[in-house]
Amino acid sequence: TPDGSDGLNPSPDENDGKLRPTRLDEMVGQRDVIERLKIAIGAAMRRSEPLGHVLFDGPPGLGKTTFATVIPAEMGTTIQMANGAGLSAPKDLLPYLTNVSSHSVLFIDEIHRVPKAVEEYLYTAMEDYRIDIVLGEGVNARTLNFELQPFTLIGATTRAGMLSAPLRDRFQIREHLGWYSENQLTDLVLRNAKKLSIEVEQAAAAEIARRSRSTPRLANNRLHWVRDYAQVRAKGIVTIGVARDALDMIGIDRLGLDKQDRNYLETLIRVFAGGPSGLEAIAHTMNVSSDTLEDEVEPFLLRSELIVRTRRGRIATTKAFEHLKMQPPLNS
Ligand code: ADP
């Protein structure tokens, strides 16, 4: 799923409404990004100009959508939300562009999925707040010019490399969102435990953080599950033992890997003898899309040095064999 679901909740951000920060100062981590945004926002507001277009990239669940919704809140303006996958023809863009009010935000998630034909309309919209639409064909063709209100486009992508240079260059502000540290996620868990009115001991919060793959969305998902577990099995108090039992029960291991992550490693090791193996072959064997693997599973496995990517394909590292308690091949 493009939303970074780990299969734990049917819809990962379903009960996240309460937990999603509404202001920059409520966000954990990403201090540098927040400082730069504050300056850009402050300057734009002083000059009574719209904020320059912003591009966020990084793996799912690290806060791209959160930033996109917090920025208009900081600026006291409105936001329209679109998804690149839903903008398959230029006409799909029109309702959004004609609805932008002055200095408002248009957010396009998964902007790398916007097709080339639509992308070209974004160029003039971003640059000159204008779109030119050609109606009819041949000698009957005529061009309609629409003036747009000055607005801010915020794009989010898990695949910065897939954006064309002309599109990427039209974003004045480009920010990469990186993984969160254990301390930052511990802080997040403790703050959100308060919002959910549940008692979580410090060590338990740290354990949930450690098993959340450096990702706020997963920390929130895990916290929701641990809360349910504690309320039914442990008088509502989350000790480290309760957190461990709850997470073990849904197959989240010591490193924070879930069943799909382990299934990936097991497939690579058992079926492909540890690799090298192409992504497509692994995806076919697991019966999931290669996009899901590349967006949601591999980034953390790579970062944890459980796999490496080579030109010949993916290879499981010694650490992966050890983690799954499997014998590495002798000659590796
Ligand atoms: P993305 O758009 O990158 O996939 P989201 O912005 O939807 O990620 O983040 C997923 C959830 O994680 C959000 O609903 C929010 O509650 C939480 N979250 C993400 N980043 C932060 C942060 N920096 N501080 C606090 N909560 C965060």
Cα gap 275→138, rounded to integer Å: 55
Q: What separation in Å is there between the alpha carbon of 64 and the centre of ligand 1?
A: 7
CB 27 within 8 A of CB 70: yes
The distance from CA 158 to its chain's CA centroid, rounded to whole angstroms, is 7
Phi-psi domain of 33 (left: phi exceeds 0; alpha: psi -120 through 50; beta: other) = alpha
Check pLDDT > 90 for residue 213: yes
Q: What is the pLDDT of residue 140?
A: 84
Q: What is the pLDDT of residue 29?
A: 97
In the predicted model, what is the mean pLDDT of residues 208-223? 97
**Closest ligand 1 atom number to CA of residue 219:** 12
The Cα angle at residue 21 between residues 39 and 64, in degrees rounded to 5: 65
pLDDT digits (tens, 9 = 90+) for 35-89: 999 999 999 999 999 999 999 999 999 999 999 999 999 999 999 999 999 999 8
The distance from CA 140 to its chain's CA centroid, rounded to whole angstroms, is 45
Q: Where are the beta strands (DSSP E) in 76-129?
A: 79-83, 105-109
Output the ligand 1 site: residues, CB below 6 A: 4, 13, 16, 19-21, 27-30, 60-66, 156, 188, 216-217, 220
Percent of the chain having pLDDT more than 70? 94
Sequence length of the chain is 332
- Residues involved in catalysis: 64-65, 109, 158, 217
pLDDT confidence band for 2 (50 / 70 / 90): very low
121 marked ligand binding residue: no
Q: What is the pLDDT of residue 319?
A: 96
Q: Which of 9, 66, 220 is the best mutation target for the ligand 1 pocket, counting ligand atoms within 8 Å of the beta carbon and taking the most? A: 66
Beta strands 173-176; 199-200: pairing state: unpaired
Burial class for 110, CB neighbours closer than 10 Å (0-12, 13-18, 19+): buried
244 marked ligand binding residue: no
Q: What is the pLDDT of residue 16?
A: 63
In the predicted model, what is the mean pLDDT of residues 174-200? 97
Q: Which of 22, 37, 62, 180 is the best mutation target for the ligand 1 pocket, counting ligand atoms within 8 Å of the beta carbon and taking the most? A: 62
* Lowest-confidence region among 20-34, 130-144, 204-218, 276-290: 130-144
Check pLDDT > 60 for residue 107: yes
Direct distance between the N- and C-terminal alpha carbons of the chain, in angstroms, rounded to an integer? 34
**Closest ligand 1 atom number to CA of residue 29:** 23
Mean pLDDT, the chain, rounded, equals 92
Q: Token pair for residue 47?
A: 């000059």
pLDDT digits (tens, 9 = 90+) for 224-272: 999 999 999 998 899 999 999 999 999 999 999 999 999 999 999 999 9
Q: What separation in Å is there between the alpha carbon of 21 and the centre of ligand 1?
A: 8
Give the residue, by CA position, lying nearest to ligand 1 atom 14: 20
Give the residue, by CA position, lying nearest to ligand 1 atom 25: 27
Q: What is the pLDDT of residue 143?
A: 84
pTM: 0.91
Check pLDDT > 50 for residue 34: yes
Cβ-based neighbours of 246, under 8 Å, separated by 6 or more: 225, 226, 229, 230, 233
* Lowest-confidence region among 30-39, 92-101, 207-216: 92-101
Check pLDDT > 80 for residue 13: no
Burial class for 165, CB neighbours closer than 10 Å (0-12, 13-18, 19+): exposed
Give the residue, by CA position, lying nearest to ligand 1 atom 7: 65
Q: H or E segment at 292?
A: helix 290-292
Cα dist. 144→131, 134, 141 in Å? Answer: 8, 6, 10
The Cα angle at residue 128 between residues 126 and 131, in degrees rounded to 5: 80
**In terms of pLDDT, which residue wins out, 266 or 3?**
266
SS3 205: helix
Cα gap 306→299, rounded to integer Å: 10
In the predicted model, what is the mean pLDDT of residues 197-215? 97
Residue with tokens 């899309």: 289
ipTM score for this prediction? 0.99
Q: What separation in Å is there between the alpha carbon of 254 and the centre of ligand 1?
A: 23
Q: What is the pLDDT of residue 134?
A: 78
In the predicted model, what is the mean pLDDT of residues 128-156? 89
Other Cβ atoms less than 10 A from the Cβ of 121: the count is: 20
Cα gap 181→210, rounded to integer Å: 9
Q: What separation in Å is there between the alpha carbon of 62 and the centre of ligand 1?
A: 5
pLDDT digits (tens, 9 = 90+) for 299-310: 999 999 999 999
Cα gap 96→319, rounded to integer Å: 48
